């Protein structure tokens, strides 16, 4: 038995023997000491607050193995559902990144793109979110399939493709990027900004010092983002939505932080443009935390990372970060402030309480790196789609697999505007 299969077998056994428990507890796994992770035992069991969803006779994977978790935080002046809307984010695992050396635990039939595409289409239809954000969406498939697909009937969409990296030996149009789909009956797209982080930074030398670290570390990255200004159809409120897929390497903590600084700057500029504000008026509006904002995506940053702290606190003190690389971006002060305000992670309580222990799940990677951030001063969290049920994790291989076409778990949050 290989080490990987041994890990899976042992953690499956430990979970299975706990399935009848009614107590909420962590399953501790000795394998964590050996490998630094435990494939399945991080999942909590028997959460009594979860509400069951009724589904069709042949449900697809989005809801078949997951349940909604109510937040208990709704307090809108509106009665009913007029101001409510759902946001989802989903890294769908580009077909060209299913490397044999990485996904050798996945049966060939579940790596097959035709199989995965059919399952992804079912996933998208079942998501039924008003704002859908995607990462690793292939440009060619977007243009030829999803842009015109009945799955997205009633949606407007925006896509931003990445530049091919140096190793890329395929056609440029096969490159992936990020996509944003917006339901027309809920929101009207007023404006969108699709951008490459490197290009934006180069075009704004007044904001970013072009140091050696800037040139050598930030400019080569092909990270992209989308910022959209939306009008909520029924309340006429302006909502700012962004999606991105930050850099993957843990050796470049500075890059994700710097890209987050750029992203918040792009959003700030959109707020200024949309509301026709001068700098003083803009700062006053942001200080009062009066702007509905949603930022979602794959941030490739764990929930104890400096990038996470940057979004949640609205700033980061580099002097207190021992692991920060020796780089020089020309910052005059060690405290890096967000261009926006402190934001709240929609899944924060579930993450912190261990009720949603991972957003990406392979045989070697069990981490929280996907987020939906929002301004809790203008939006209430109604509910989140919860973790995959423990009995499924205990009896199935990691992802992608028969039921889940990606190695990421889609996040879905329902909000209501405070108006």
Instruction: Walk along the chain (419 residues) and give the pLDDT tens digit of each residue.
Output: 444 454 444 434 433 333 333 233 333 343 333 333 344 444 444 333 434 333 333 435 688 899 999 998 766 554 555 689 999 999 999 999 999 999 999 999 999 999 999 999 999 999 999 999 999 999 999 999 999 999 999 999 999 999 999 999 999 999 999 999 999 999 999 999 999 999 999 999 999 999 999 999 999 999 999 999 999 999 999 999 999 999 999 888 899 999 999 999 999 999 999 999 999 999 999 999 999 999 999 999 999 999 999 999 999 998 888 878 889 998 877 889 998 989 999 999 999 999 999 999 999 999 999 999 999 999 999 999 999 999 999 899 999 999 999 999 999 999 999 88
Look at residue 367 and tell me if it is in a domain: yes
Look at residue 21 and tell me if it is in a domain: no
pLDDT digits (tens, 9 = 90+) for 249-288: 988 889 999 999 999 999 999 999 999 999 999 999 999 9
- Distance separating alpha carbons of residues 413 and 398, to the nearest angstrom: 24
pLDDT digits (tens, 9 = 90+) for 71-122: 987 665 545 556 899 999 999 999 999 999 999 999 999 999 999 999 999 9
Look at residue 39 and tell me if it is in a domain: no
pLDDT at 72: 82
- Find the domain containing 213 and state its range: 47-417
pLDDT at 385: 97
Look at residue 8 and tell me if it is in a domain: no
Query: Is residue 111 helix, strand or coil?
Result: helix
169, burial (CB in 10 Å: exposed 0-12, middle 13-18, buried 19+): exposed
Q: Closest Cα partner for 341 from 316, 311, 318?
A: 311
Q: Is the Cβ–Cβ distance between 297 and 135 less than 8 Å? A: yes
pLDDT at 248: 92
Look at residue 390 and tell me if it is in a domain: yes
Assign residue 234 the CATH number of its domain: 3.60.10.10
Output the CA angle 64-69-70, nearest 5 degrees. Answer: 140
Give exposure, 190-229, as e/b (b: 16+ Cβ within 10 Å). Answer: eebbbbbbbebbeeeeeebeeeebbeebbeebbbbbbbbb
pLDDT at 331: 85
DSSP string, 60-102: -HHHHTEEEEE-S----SS-TTTTEEEEEEEE---GGG--TTT
pLDDT at 46: 35
Count CB neighbours of 271 within 10 A: 21
- Distance separating alpha carbons of residues 193 and 227, to the nearest angstrom: 5
Look at residue 30 and tell me if it is in a domain: no
Strand positions, DSSP E, 346-417: 360-361, 366-367, 370-374, 379-388, 411-417
pLDDT at 324: 84
- Distance separating alpha carbons of residues 386 and 66, to the nearest angstrom: 6
Count of the separate structural domains present in the chain: 1
Look at residue 71 and tell me if it is in a domain: yes
H-type alpha helices, 134-251: 139-141, 197-203, 212-213
User: Across the strands, what pairs with 183?
Assistant: 155
């Amino acid at each position: 038995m290989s080490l990987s299969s041994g890990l899976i077998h042992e953690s499956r056994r430990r979970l299975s023997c706990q399935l009848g428990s009614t107590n909420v507890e962590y399953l501790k796994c000795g394998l964590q000491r050996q490998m630094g992770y435990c494939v399945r035992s991080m999942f909590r069991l028997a959460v009594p607050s979860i509400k069951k969803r009724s589904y069709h006779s042949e449900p697809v994977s989005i809801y078949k193995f997951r349940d909604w978790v109510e937040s208990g935080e709704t307090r809108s002046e509106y009665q009913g559902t007029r101001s409510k809307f759902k946001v989802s984010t989903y890294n769908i695992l580009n077909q060209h990144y299913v490397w044999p050396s990485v996904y050798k635990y996945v049966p060939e039939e579940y790596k097959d793109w035709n199989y995965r595409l059919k399952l992804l289409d079912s996933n998208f239809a079942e998501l039924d979110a008003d704002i859908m954000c995607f990462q690793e969406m292939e440009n060619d498939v977007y243009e030829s399939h999803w842009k015109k697909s009945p799955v997205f009937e009633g949606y407007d969409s925006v896509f931003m493709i990445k530049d091919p990296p140096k190793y890329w030996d395929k056609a440029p149009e096969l490159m992936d990027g990020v996509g944003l789909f917006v339901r027309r009956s809920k929101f009207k797209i007023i404006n969108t900004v699709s951008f490459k982080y490197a290009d934006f930074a180069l075009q704004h030398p007044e904001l970013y010092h072009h140091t050696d670290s800037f040139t050598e570390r930030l400019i080569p990255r092909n990270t992209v983002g989308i910022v959209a200004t939306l009008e909520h159809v029924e309340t006429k409120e302006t909502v700012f939505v962004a999606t991105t897929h930050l850099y993957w390497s843990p050796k470049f903590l500075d890059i994700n932080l710097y890209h987050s600084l750029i992203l918040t700057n792009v959003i700030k500029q959109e707020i200024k443009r949309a509301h026709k504000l001068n700098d003083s008026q803009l700062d006053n509006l942001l200080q009062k935390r009066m702007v509905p904002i949603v930022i979602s995506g794959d941030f490739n940053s764990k929930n104890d990372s400096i990038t996470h702290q940057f979004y949640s606190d609205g700033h980061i003190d580099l002097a207190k970060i021992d692991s920060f690389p020796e780089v020089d971006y020309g910052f005059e002060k060690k405290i890096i402030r967000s261009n926006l305000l402190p934001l709240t992670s929609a899944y924060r309580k579930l993450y912190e309480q261990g009720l949603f222990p991972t957003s990406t799940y392979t045989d070697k990677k069990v981490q929280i790196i996907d987020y939906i951030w929002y301004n809790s001063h203008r939006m209430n969290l109604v509910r989140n789609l919860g973790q995959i049920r423990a009995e499924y994790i205990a009896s199935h291989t990691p992802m992608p697999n028969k039921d889940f076409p990606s190695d990421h778990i889609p996040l879905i949050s329902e909000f209501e505007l405070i108006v």
